[in-house]
Structure 1
Amino acid sequence: MKTQPQQQYGKPKSTFVRTRNQTEDIPLSASKIKKRIRDVKRTLAKGKNVSAQVITESKRRLRALEFELGERVIDEAERSHATKYHMVKHFERKKLERKVKQAKAALAGESDETKKAGLQDKLDEQEIRLLYVLHYPKTVPYVSLFAEENGDDIKSKIRREGLLNEIKESLLNGDKDLKLLNKKYREIYKQKLINRGDLKPEEPIDEGADVVIEDSKKKEEAEDDFFEK
């Protein structure tokens, strides 16, 4: 007698798979990036003991690492929410998939054009709600579509209705896979981290200032050589 494979409801599997002697495709953790940032800052702290080229390259490296740190912190927040809301989203997705299937069947079996228009509206509504579950911004705590009325506060209702409207607007604007919508929410979360002081804002590198520093160092060295002669 064959046994049916059991469905797993544990933590979602990681996107990155580590194999022996293969580490280059696995992103660094936030803690390792922070360590590299400290190393670069130590180099910059040497000041006059390093060349302008090293300073400029170190600043570029620092900016890249700080950007990478921001992305990694956001990734970790997304993974945390994905794990936390995995079960509730799973059941809501299944429920909505059934509703979409039922709405499609009802529409296909109706011949009256007036009634078909109403059924199409119902199908569209269920498909939007399914997209809500599938593409809910991972940086935001999940708000259930089927929350009990007494346990659903005004803030949650506003967030839910607002996101449903954003999904409709995104689809009308051609964002079919809602990638732009999710990117927008990542940027909002990143700015929140910056405002909170958890991340540093990106700053331009002033290469001209580094050249001035290098020229000043060369001038000082030349003067030292002159007086030593």
Structure 2
Amino acid sequence: MASKRPAPDIHPSRQTQVPRDPPRKRQKPNNLSGSKSFKKARPVNELKTSIRNLRRLLERDGEESEGKKPLPPKVRIAKERELASAQQELVESQTAEKRSKMIARYHKVRFFDRQKATKRLKRAKKAMKEVEEDAGEREELAREVDECELDVQYAMFYPLDVPYVALYPSAKKVEGSDEDGKSTEVKRQGDQEMRDLLRKCAQSGKLDALRNGKLDKEGNYKITEDAAVDEAKPKKQTEKNGKRKAEEMAANESGDESDGGFFE
């Protein structure tokens, strides 16, 4: 059976007479179409310039000069609101910039502290399982497990916008050897006040708020718009959940001899 011949090409003189499907329009992503598009943050220098110009405009409007008409009340109110909004946006931009610098500066130290704390937590739990008869030693190991869990929370939930105080100092500077030639383990250090605050926040379920800089030194919410929202939310993270996170970190980490992984 002979195959069908391909359809002949349309002669250029008849192309305008042949109906064709209209070209398809390229659809924009949902986040870029309509009123739901995201608003890009203005640069800090642009915000400073806008604030300076608005201040000059409002200050000159208050001065008395011949031949100069003052701004209408509605325009002045609009400019004052624009100035307040720009000042708030500038504060938020500077806070975000400071936070980013802190994260980039201390992410490596925090990562290694979390690695060491997780390994110590696993060793403490293993030692506690092996001890059954001696109640005094078991109680001491239980306290060590609690401290190791707090160490993991220290590395994970230490405020990101505050200079990080290392939990374990550099091994080259502190770690030595005893009389038998065995290396001694680096002692736990860090910020004791922050450890107390972390323990308090773990009991009240405020670890995430502490990490994101929403709490003061007493563990109370700062006066911000997000504070009322966070207070209204149910407390999902209790002291038990904080310990559960520490256990998950211990389970997800690699073996005791491995320091691989991604920085956080």
Distance 1:158 1:108 in 2: 26
Structure 1 runs not aligned, ≥5 long: 1-18, 187-229
Task: Note the C-alpha offset of 1:124.
Answer: 1.2
Cα 1:25/1:71, change in 2 over 3 Å: same
Q: Which residue pairs with 2:157 in the alignment? A: 135
Q: Which residue pairs with 1:83 in the alignment? A: 104
Q: Which residue pairs with 1:31 in the alignment? A: 45
Out of 192, 195, 199, the residue aligned to residue 161 of structure 1 is 192
Task: Note the C-alpha offset of 1:146.
Answer: 1.5
Which structure has the higher relative contact order (CA within 8 Å, separation 6+)? 1
**Are positions 1:95 and 2:116 aligned together?**
yes
Q: Which residue pairs with 2:81 in the alignment? A: 60
Structure 2 runs not aligned, ≥5 long: 1-30, 62-68, 175-187, 218-264
More helix, by proportion: 1
Distance 2:190 2:130 in 1: 35
Cα 1:31/1:108, change in 2 over 3 Å: farther
After TM superposition, list the pairs within 5 Å mapping 1:180-219 onto structure 2.
Answer: 180=210, 182-184=213-215
Deviates more, 1:54-63 or 1:29-38: 29-38
Task: Note the C-alpha offset of 1:180.
Answer: 4.3
Which amino acid is the alignment partner of residue 42 of structure 2?
Answer: L
Which amino acid is the alignment partner of residue 45 of structure 2?
Answer: S
**Are positions 1:175 and 2:205 aligned together?**
yes
Distance 2:75 2:165 in 1: 49
Cα 1:127/1:27, change in 2 over 3 Å: farther
Partner of 2:205, secondary structure, is coil
Cα 1:102/1:74, change in 2 over 3 Å: same
Conserved 8 A contact 1:99-1:126: yes
Cα 1:158/1:26, change in 2 over 3 Å: farther
Distance 1:66 1:169 in 2: 34
Cα 1:158/1:28, change in 2 over 3 Å: farther
Conserved 8 A contact 2:166-2:189: no
- Taking only the aligned residue pairs, the percentage that are identical comes to 23
Partner of 2:215, secondary structure, is helix
Cα 1:109/1:61, change in 2 over 3 Å: farther
**Are positions 1:117 and 2:139 aligned together?**
yes
Distance 2:41 2:157 in 1: 23
Conserved 8 A contact 1:137-1:185: no
TM-score, normalised relative to structure 1? 0.58
Partner of 2:191, secondary structure, is helix
Q: Which residue pairs with 2:178 in the alignment? A: none
Conserved 8 A contact 1:128-1:164: yes
Conserved 8 A contact 2:167-2:189: no
Give the RMSD, CA atoms, in angstroms: 3.3
Conserved 8 A contact 2:158-2:210: no
